[in-house]
Amino acid sequence: MNLNDLNEKIISILKEEEIKEAELEAFYIIEAVMKLSRPMFFIKKRDEVSEQDVSSCLAIAQKRSEHMPLQYILGTQEFMGLSFKVTPDVLIPRQDTEGLVEEVLKQVKPGIKVLDMCTGSGCIAVSVAKFAPNVQVSAADISPKALEVAKENAATNQVQINFIESDMFTEIREKYDMIISNPPYIKSQVVTTLMPEVRDYEPHLALDGKEDGLFFYRKLAKESGNFLTPGGMLCLEIGYDQGAEVAQLLKQQGFIQVRVEQDLCGLDRNVYGKLPE
């Protein structure tokens, strides 16, 4: 089978199960298995593909057609230009979250201590540690399996992070200059209506923000003051319709300079607040 035929076959397997962007995903599968760049893919279209590569690509296409996210099949996702291992124990890092990291990187000063609460794959903590090398980064998660993945991601990206297994703040003992969090924020009722890739494969523990989706923001607003130094910052990712409510929660708990920021699509995506000095 030549590369062009293989590509067509993968696309048809994906399209049959209504995978959107089948063409793009077919290329990602070929790229991953055959280590082919986009230009080489076009140059080699008439070349024969080894039987082994054909069967590897088709096996992946088959799994993808069952709506398993490609990132879980291949085991990786890029975030902030770094490579992260992902397993079904962690949420797949989203590009939306890069804005949070970029804002944090603007705010950090050498020597400060930062805590990433609900670290999951560790994408936020690892990127901050990587791009702000003089910052001491800690990262907490309730899930020991997620922490295993995050630890591997810290090691492969060659950064030092202090990992803490903790249900929110229960095991946190120190104070930080900045607390960052992208907590679970989807209403329980809505989780079951999400696309199958998310609903059937991503950990509900990382998605479900309980009844009104605000459970973890309430905790963060209420308790992070005890773990922040005076003037410390709370930096949050939120759902597109949670800006006003989360900003209100922070103000009620004494945070100042509370601001809601939009993502590249113009939707509310982050809330920042500061403790008085």
What residues line the site for ligand GLN (CB under 6 A)? 91, 93, 97, 118-121, 123-124, 182-184, 206
Beta bridge partners of 27: none
SS3 content of the chain, % helix, strand, coil (to 5): 45, 20, 35
Nearer to ligand GLN, 61 or 118 (CB): 118
Nearer to ligand GLN, 91 or 161 (CB): 91
Least spacing, CB of residue 7 vs ligand GLN, in Å: 31
Radius of gyration of the chain (CA): 21
Angstrom distances, CA of residue 232 to CA of 70, 132, 133, 154, 173: 38, 17, 19, 25, 16
Least spacing, CB of residue 212 vs ligand GLN, in Å: 16
Whole-angstrom distance, CA of residue 207 vs CA of residue 191: 7
Least spacing, CB of residue 66 vs ligand GLN, in Å: 23
Nearer to ligand GLN, 124 or 275 (CB): 124
State the DSSP H helix or E strand holding residue 200, giving kind and residue range, or none if neither: none
Determine contact, residues 66/237, Cβ cutoff 8 Å.
no
Residue whose beta carbon is closest to ligand GLN: 120
Whole-angstrom distance, CA of residue 89 vs CA of residue 66: 18
Nearer to ligand GLN, 36 or 205 (CB): 205
Least spacing, CB of residue 248 vs ligand GLN, in Å: 21
Whole-angstrom distance, CA of residue 183 vs CA of residue 205: 10
Nearer to ligand GLN, 69 or 93 (CB): 93
Least spacing, CB of residue 216 vs ligand GLN, in Å: 8
